Amino acid sequence: MGLCLSAPPPANAENDTELKHFHQELAAEAAAVLRAMDSSDSSDDGSHVANEESDAVEAELAVTSPLLRPDRADQKYKEVIDDAVAACADYTAGQICYICKEAVTEETNEGLVSGFCACRGDLSFAHVSCLARQAQVVAERTFDRWHTCRQCEQEYHGVVSCALGWACWKTYVGRPEADPARGMAMTLLGNGLSSAQRHEDALSVRLADLATRRRIGADSEENMLIVQGNLAGSYGHLGRHEQALRVWKEVYSGRLELNGVEHENTLMAANNYASSFISLERFEEAWSLLRKTIAVARRVLGENHELTLKTRVIYVMTRYADNNATLDDLREAATMLEELERTARRVFGGEHPLTSHIEISLRAMGAVLATQETPPPPPGNA
């Protein structure tokens, strides 16, 4: 993919002004889409936090937040299950849970959810409580079932991810603060809240998670990287881009040192770091990092890996957001996105967040291109 963003502006000054206006709107929308795509799988060491004094104050407040009180876990769990069932109601009528083989649970009259992973057909319908029980059964051996489907091995997303986050927190909140399962449950809850677009709540949980791990001490560098990266993601979702950029810079450096340049976690950190550059319209720095990351991701992970596709989408969105991009640049970006949308739909399905975000970007690009390509009315016919 070549870069061709240095084309001269249109000769007509009025058209040039209109194009710049549209680019300003595009930049804001592109940054919003990129924040929504932000991965929550990588993070930075606690000793590298920028603006530490401010963050420490927020973390102390978050620790005492009512959101995480043990006596609220049951209530929040029930509320979010109701939300998840309601959100999936159009797709679950007449279906049964692939685990318990019932439409509603006998004990609580809980309805079904669907579209939470890549599974299709009968395997795509379940009760959150059944998924939670599966996770509880194997939790001593693996914690993966709390966040990843055992059938398709895709991570849960959206309201179902949020519901399972509360189910996990409800299960382990009564354990001692230093218990690893309790710490993992808090991290999972923050991720679920973020996946359901509840970013203020996610920030509160993630600050509490980081503060707790610092207070306890003796946590691995890997775990601190994960928690710190999750926090940076929440800053980005909430528009606090300078804070997000400072943290992601240290996250990326930490990942390079701990994992090396070809590790998947390092590549995810690079994506997040680049997305922060884009949000602040620092495009040259984003391009430089993304070109290197795409080359490594293709070689190590393959063309159809989610992270490879996501990196390419971010690269295209950088072109889309840049104020100096021409209409030809936008057309080429739209063509690239169309190709990526077809690949994402084939590999992950239409309900996957990556597919959805590409579709949103395509609609936005299409609207702008249609406006720009419509010829002005002849003189005197206005």
Query: pLDDT tens digits, residue range 226-279?
Result: 999 999 999 999 999 999 999 899 899 999 999 999 999 999 999 999 999 999
Query: pLDDT tens digits, residue range 18-73?
Result: 434 434 444 444 444 444 444 433 434 344 444 554 555 454 444 556 788 888 99
Which comes out higher in pLDDT, residue 177 or 66? Answer: 177
Q: Is 263 helix (H, G, I), strand (E, B) or coil?
A: coil
Confidence of residue 7 (pLDDT cuts 50, 70, 90): very low
pLDDT above 50: residue 181: yes
CA dihedral angle for residue 129, residue 135, residue 140, residue 143, rounded to 10 degrees = -130
**Could you tell me where in the chain the CATH 1.25.40.10 domains are found?**
13-42+239-373
- Report the pLDDT value the prediction gives residue 8, as an integer from 0 to 100: 27
Query: pLDDT tens digits, residue range 117-146?
Result: 888 899 999 999 999 999 999 988 899 999
- Report the pLDDT value the prediction gives residue 237, as an integer from 0 to 100: 93
pLDDT above 80: residue 11: no
Q: Average pLDDT, stretch 82-108?
A: 91
Query: pLDDT tens digits, residue range 144-165?
Result: 999 999 889 889 989 999 999 9
- Report the pLDDT value the prediction gives residue 331, as an integer from 0 to 100: 86
- Report the pLDDT value the prediction gives residue 112, as an integer from 0 to 100: 95
| Percent of the chain whose predicted confidence (pLDDT) is above 70 | 80
- Report the pLDDT value the prediction gives residue 15, as an integer from 0 to 100: 39
- Report the pLDDT value the prediction gives residue 321, as an integer from 0 to 100: 77
Contact residues for 248 (Cβ-Cβ < 8 A; gap 6+): 44, 229, 232, 269, 272, 273, 276
> What is the CATH architecture of 13-42+239-373?
Alpha Horseshoe (1.25)
- Report the pLDDT value the prediction gives residue 334, as an integer from 0 to 100: 87
- Report the pLDDT value the prediction gives residue 365, as an integer from 0 to 100: 81
- Report the pLDDT value the prediction gives residue 92, as an integer from 0 to 100: 92
